[in-house]
Structure 1
Amino acid sequence: MLLGCDFSSTPTRRKPILLALGEEAGGRVQLARIERFESLAAFGDWLREPREWIGGFDFPFGLPRALVEHLGWPTAWRECMRHYAGLTRPQIRETFAAYCAARPAGSKFAHRRFDKLAGSSPSMKWVNPPVAYMLHAAVPLLLAADVDIPGLHAGDPRRVALEAYPGLLARELIARRSYKSDEKAKQTPDRLIARKDLITALEQGRSRLGLRLKLTHAQRDALAEDASGDSLDAVLCLVQAAWAARQGAPRYGLPEELDPLEGWIVSAG
């Protein structure tokens, strides 16, 4: 089974964690269904269940090495994540804000090696989007479930977790057009058109990943109608996971020069 995850660090009924589940065969990625989780505990329970999957998860798996070394935190990934999980969100915000305040304008945040390549937000960013809190909430769940995280943590090889980023694939297909918003006032006809164009591009397999998305009419309509873009983001991660599965174990398309503290976004570069 393949999966793509759109994650929320504070899931609710209105804004749940979404898992797009599917399979790939002959270059076609079939979406089976989308599951919803309204709590971190429910999501963690699902991760621990004994099933086989390869998944792309839309949250950072690591912090920038420059930040970790500056703060004097452990530079081994598992120990660093344990230290990080022991902090509160206010402590994270205060620590990262102090780091940024001491740096010159234009280079406030520390970046992972691939951030510029992937167009991803710094994993230490605590607002817009709060990916630092996403890492804080999610990675301990992966470790508790003992999933395999290639390049970072050797776990159960039947459950493989990879860092994905839907924006990377979306930009390849529709450039920088905005296709989603959580704000009702910004859920415009232009964004609806962009979602439809993105879905069409996925179905036609226009990306360098060499995969075509297969949807039912009802699934296509549901993805277009979700103005938050959360379900479409989960599907984008599903396609990235399918690409990784085609590359195969043990690296799933990740580069040999991957930093074992920072990790890597699947299909970047």
Structure 2
Amino acid sequence: MAFGDQPAYLRVADDLRKKIAAGELPPHARLPSQARIREEYGVSDTVALEARKVLMAEGLVEGRSGSGTYVRAQPVPRRLVRTGFHAAGESTPFRQEQADDRIIGTWESGSEQEEAGPEIAERLSIEPGDRVMRTRYVFRAAGEPVMLSTSWEPFAVTGRTPVMLPEEGPLAGRGVVERMAALDLVVDNVAEEVGARPGRAEEVLALGGVPGHAVLVISRTFFAGGRPVETADVVVLAERYRIAYHLPVK
């Protein structure tokens, strides 16, 4: 379909989008009302409404109950730096996920046993229904939530050992590599896949985002001698982050 053949609501949305980008409609400015859009562009109420819906879906505007629709201030994307593993002495869960030394972070977590579902079982090379230790994290920087993570470790590896709980015991909060070393397992490889999907309501709200917006998911697995010893999903808001990899050249 040629640009000129676009449906009317997309042409209206495109023009309003350009005005937002050019600053003619700056952050926090009220979007023209449905009646104003109808008059200015010579379109129906339905077209005006659909154009506003497009801009809302793109995260450019937001509705305020009883007040109208306003231009959202767009966040400047930050870099989420990935290096695979950070040096000993800095191997905390936060540093494991965000390798940028300039960012200081804290985290909250909770662990519990569960049965591995088919996907997690495949990632850990175990059988569905085998026991795993699941740990959920909320990572914060400057007090603001920036990342969520859920990790799973095979109970056959860590169960009934001093490092069974990632955030308790003698190596609490020291990260996967150091904890596995205490079990004479040398973590020597890490694999990551990055994908995007619509954010689940609880994820987006926990990260301070707008329901319905996309998230980036980093699915990471640590290996020791080819054996998966931990797998995790790290979740960030797509509009706020770019994933940056710093990898050695061999």
| TM bracket (short chain) | under 0.3
Q: TM-score, normalised by structure 1?
A: 0.23
In our comparison, the structure showing a higher alpha carbon Rg is 2
Q: Which is helix-richer, 1 or 2?
A: 1
Query: TM-score when scaled to structure 2?
Result: 0.24
